[in-house]
Amino acid sequence: MIYCVIPEVLADELQDKLRDYYKDEPNVEVIIDRRRGERRSGSESGGKRQIRDRRRRRASGSFPKIEAG
């Protein structure tokens, strides 16, 4: 499915034109973006996010010396 997303402020001008343009395309749907504000905001997230190093940690302890041979 392909979504043709129209900003709400342009919906009156573009919605009918785009629906008519894509009427023969069954995989295209024209929709209006009605979201308000940003999805992410620093104050609402809870502040529990941790940034971690994803590399594997080295094994702890001592290891015998390996001689090249």
- Map out the domains of the chain as residue ranges: 2-33
Closest CA to 34 of 3, 11, 1: 11
Return the amino acid letter for 15.
Answer: Q
For the whole model, what pTM was predicted? 0.52
pLDDT at 7 over 90: yes
Confidence at residue 47, expressed as pLDDT on a 0 to 100 scale: 67
Q: Residue range 9-27: average pLDDT? A: 96
